[in-house]
Structure 1
Amino acid sequence: MESELRLDLVIEGRVQGVGYRYSAKMKAESLGIRGSVQNLRDGSVFVTAQGEKEAMDNFVRWCYKGPPGAIVRNIEKVQGKTEEFSEFRVLY
């Protein structure tokens, strides 16, 4: 859809071991966002998210807070080319 936006996010801080991936999945699904989330070896979390602009704005705001116990220090955002995602998945 042309009205959709895709972002790749690298979320840094205390974001592993606090349920960030599963919380991000639940938040994304509640907003109709598709894509994926995974832990990276450096301790950060990588998210690919695609959805309507308003939903994406809401999701990115949530990513800055994260679940209880998370401490987000920085988010690197890169806008990407939209793809055909069918769901939001946790990758390992």
Structure 2
Amino acid sequence: MQSPIARRFVVHGRVQGVGFRYRCVQAAETAGVTGWVRNRTDGSVEAHVEGPADAVEQVLAWVRVGPRHARVDSVEVGEVAPAGHRGFTVR
């Protein structure tokens, strides 16, 4: 079994008002990761995703595209410590 990893994603583009956070929850639940996603005041979306590396990468692949009406211009990815979240929530 893989040790869990955690990543912080900040997604820039047209990512608010297009269902990004709620579709991110679906992608996270499908991948089996935990964490959270939230809108930021600068118009970006931030997420904390933790779980097995391959599952975190699966969510990152989705984040780079986003839902149908989104336009992802860039994604910042940072390593963070796993926090032991349960479930995946919208903040």
User: TM class, shorter-chain normalised?
Assistant: over 0.9
* Residue number in structure 2 paired with 1:42: 42
User: Equivalences for 1:26-37 in 2 at 5 Å?
Assistant: 26-37=26-37
Gaps of 5+ in 1: none
Q: How many residues align?
A: 91
- Runs of 4 or more above 6 Å deviation: none
Contact 2:2 2:53 in 1 (8 A): no
CA contact (8 A) 2:2 2:52 kept: no
User: Which residue number in structure 2 is paired with residue 88 of structure 1?
Assistant: 88
Match runs of 1:6-45 below 5 Å? 6-45=6-45
TM-score, normalised with respect to structure 2: 0.96
User: What percent identity do the matched residue pairs reach?
Assistant: 35
List alignment gaps of at least 5 residues for structure 2: none
Partner in structure 2 of residue 68 of structure 1: 68
Cα deviations across residues 9-65 of structure 1 (Å, max 9, x unaligned)?
Answer: 110000000000000001101111100000001100000000111111111010000
C-alpha RMSD of the superposition? 1.2
